[in-house]
Amino acid sequence: MKDKVFVTSRSFSQNKFLRKKLLSIYPNSIFNETGRKLKNSELISSAIDCNKIIVALDKIDKNVLVNLPKLKVISKYGVGLDMINLKDLEKFKVKLGWEKGQNSRAVSELVMGYIFSISRNLYSYQKSLKQNNIFKQIPSEEITNKKIGIIGCGSIGSDLLKLLTPLKCKIYINDIRKIKINNSNHIQCSINELLKNSDIVSIHTPLTKKTISLINEDNLKYCKKNILFINCSRGGIINEDAIYKFLKINKIANAAFDVFQNEPPMNNKLLKLENFYCTPHIGGSTNESIINMGLTAIRGLDNFVSFRRLYKYGYE
């Protein structure tokens, strides 16, 4: 049987370079031409004759796999594995193509954009000037010498660390692994210590059973009243009800999310807060990152990752 590939990702499917590259290797490839995220039933009907799939934010579990008897390989476009049930993949003997670090610079630059924009009140200044014609300067904050917490110091967290280091920030790091530190301004510590000391906290852990509501009502009490939280990882790692209450009470605190527990975040009460900032899951949406993730996903159709390795780092 000739390999037949279905691509669920919209940005991959719309990219002429990636389409041409995939078709040069797998001429029988088909693409998501709808311009929107597919429902499970649509994914199944589109991929029914395929033995390989490139997926993005699609939920893959036994309910999908049982309806795709020809499927042998799933390759991940992007890095998050929270939508893929690895145990079900093993049970159905479906191999997984995945590589870490595909969009690290794109996400870490988005975090830096949030840090600078919110610290310098750029959103507020633009709104005041364009909507209300208010030409008034209010002193804001520099990033240099600030205390910044990074929760999760894998590919993206490590890249963010590189970008922040020239600014002479004191950086508190929390990770499940022991991180090698060669800078006196970098300190590995507990989450509570990180929250207590940081002016800015950025989340970069995968979403697993251990990281759901990692930031919650219990540990938010350790935070400074003017803290800035940034989540460009996965929705649900910061408990949305808890951060809403925190921001509601602490008007000088801020939070910026690129990701939400439910996407799109319809009727999410966070969106109504003046001290909450957001983007529609654009962390990996740069031209460079799309190409990199796409080429990695194409490689993943024939190069597979060990499930044992993923379980070791908390993926399930």
Phi, psi of 312 (to 5 degrees): -60, -30
Q: In what order do the strands lie in the sheet with 52-55?
A: 30-31, 5-7, 52-55, 73-76, 95-97
* DSSP state letter for 38: P
In order of their start, the domains of the chain are 5-102+286-312 (3.40.50.720), 104-278 (3.40.50.720)
Cα–Cα distance for residue pair 80/72, rounded to 1 Å: 20
Q: How far from chain centre, in Å, is Cα 178?
A: 22
* Rg of the Cα atoms in the chain: 21
Tens digit of pLDDT for each residue in 206-226?
Answer: 998 899 999 999 999 999 999
Q: What is the mean pLDDT of the chain?
A: 94
Please enumerate in sequence order all residues whose Cβ is within 8 A of that of 112, keeping only pairs 6 or more positions apart, or say none. 160, 163, 164
Q: Judge if the upstream peptide bond of residue 264 is cis by omega within 30 degrees of 0.
A: yes
Q: Which residues are catalytic?
A: 234, 263, 281
Tens digit of pLDDT for each residue in 35-84?
Answer: 999 999 999 999 999 999 999 999 999 999 999 999 999 999 999 899 99
pLDDT value at position 18? 98
Q: In what order do the strands lie in the sheet with 147-151?
A: 186-188, 170-174, 147-151, 200-203, 228-231, 254-257, 276-278
Cα–Cα distance for residue pair 82/102, rounded to 1 Å: 16
Tokens of 233: 């990882």
pLDDT value at position 316? 64
pLDDT tops 60 at residue 1: no
The beta strands (E) that lie in 212-273 are given as 228-231, 254-257
Tens digit of pLDDT for each residue in 111-159?
Answer: 999 999 999 999 999 999 999 899 988 899 999 999 999 999 999 999 9
